[in-house]
Amino acid sequence: MHVLHLADSHIGADLPRRRRHARPRRGDDLIASYRRVLQLAYEHRVDAVVHAGDVFNSPRPTTDAVWAATEPLRALANNGIPVVVIPGNHERSALPEALLLHHQLISVLDRPRTVRIETDNGVLAVSGFPYLRRPTRAEFMNAIEATGWREHRADARMLVTHQAFDTAVCGPQHYRFRKGGDDVVARGDVPSAFDYVAAGHIHRQQRLKPSKRLRPEIVYAGSPDRITFAEIDEPKGAMLASFDGGHPQHRFLEHDVRPMSIHPLAVSGWSRTQLLDAVEATVRNVPHGAVAQMRLTGVTNPQALVRLNLPERAFAWREDVIFSYTVRGVELTKDELGDALPMEVVSNDANGASAAPTMNGGKPAAFIEIERLLRTPDKEIGIGLLPATPATSRRLPNTCGIYLFYDESDRLVYVGKASNLRSRVQSHFRDSAGNFFAHWTRQVRSIRAMQLPDEQSALDLESRIIEEARPAFNIAGRIPPGGGIA
The mean-pLDDT minimum among 5-19, 358-372, 385-399 falls in 358-372
pLDDT at 389: 61
Where in the chain are all domains bearing CATH 3.60.21.10? 2-255
- Calculate Rg over the CA atoms of the chain: 26
Max mean pLDDT among 93-107, 244-258, 335-349 falls in 244-258
Residue of 359, 382, 380, 374 whose CA lies nearest to 464: 374
Residue 178 has what pLDDT? 87
Question: What is the model's pLDDT at position 362?
Answer: 44
For residue range 33-52, what is the model confidence (pLDDT) as tens digits? 999 999 999 999 999 999 99
436 band by pLDDT with thresholds 50, 70 and 90: low
Cα(first)–Cα(last) distance of the chain, in Å? 52
Query: Who contacts 311 (Cβ-Cβ below 8 Å, separation ≥6)?
Result: 23, 323, 324, 325
Q: Is pLDDT above 90 for 171?
A: no
Please give the average per-residue pLDDT across 351-376, as a whole number: 47
Rounded average pLDDT over 130-134: 90
User: Using N-to-C axis directions, what is the helix angle for 26-43 and 63-78, rounded to 10°?
Assistant: 10
pLDDT for 379 equals 38
Stretch 164-192: mean pLDDT, rounded? 87
| pLDDT score recorded for residue 145 | 96
If one compares 359 and 200, the residue with the highest pLDDT of the two is 200
Angstrom distance (rounded) from CA 300 to CA 332: 5
- Place 95 in a pLDDT band, splitting at 50, 70 and 90: confident
Q: Which amino acid is located at 246 in the chain? A: G
pLDDT at 381: 41
- Interior angle at CA 198, CA 194 and CA 204, nearest 5: 140
Percent of the chain with pLDDT over 90: 46
pLDDT greater than 50 at residue 374: yes
CATH classification for the domain delimited by 2-255, as one of 3.60.21.10, 3.40.50.2300, 3.40.50.720, 3.90.1150.10 = 3.60.21.10
Residue 84 main-chain phi, psi, to 5 deg: -125, 130
* Residue 350 confidence (pLDDT): 30
Mean per-residue pLDDT, 53-61: 94
Instruction: Please compute the mean of the pLDDT values over residues 248-271 and round it to a whole number.
Output: 90
Strands 401-406 and 184-185 turn out to be unpaired
In this prediction, residue 256 has a pLDDT band, given cuts at 50, 70 and 90, of very high
Low-confidence winner among 192-196, 325-329, 376-380, 421-425 (lowest mean pLDDT): 376-380
Residue 213 confidence (pLDDT): 64
> Which of 47-51, 93-97, 105-109, 347-351 is predicted least confidently?
347-351
The HSE-up count of residue 174 (CA atoms within 13 Å, CB side) is: 4
Q: Is the pLDDT at 99 greater than 70, yes or no?
A: no
| More reliable by pLDDT, 176 or 441 | 176
Is residue 246 very low, low, confident or very high in pLDDT (cuts 50, 70, 90)? low
Q: What is the pTM of this model?
A: 0.77
* 3-state DSSP helix/strand/coil % of the chain, to nearest 5: 25, 25, 45
- At the top level of CATH, the class of 365-478 is alpha beta
Strand-strand pairing, 122-128 and 113-119:
antiparallel
Q: Where in the chain is the domain with CATH 3.40.1440.10?
A: 365-478
Mean pLDDT of the chain: 82
d(C-alpha 457, C-alpha 288), whole Å: 48
Torsion 258-259-264-267 (CA) sign: negative
Confidence of residue 200 (pLDDT cuts 50, 70, 90): very high
- What is the structure's pLDDT at 423? 85
Is residue 200 within 8 A of residue 10, CB to CB? The reply is no
- Higher pLDDT, residue 311 or 299: 311
Q: Compare 48 and 448 and report the one with higher pLDDT.
A: 48
For 329-334, what is the mean pLDDT? Answer: 69
Find the mean pLDDT for residues 231-241. 95
pLDDT of residue 397: 84
DSSP E strands in 206-246: the ranges are 206-208, 217-220, 236-244
Higher pLDDT, 345 or 118: 118
> Quick one: pLDDT band at residue 349, thresholds 50, 70, 90?
very low
What phi and psi, each to the nearest 5 degrees, are found at residue 241? Answer: -95, 135
Higher pLDDT, 83 or 484: 83
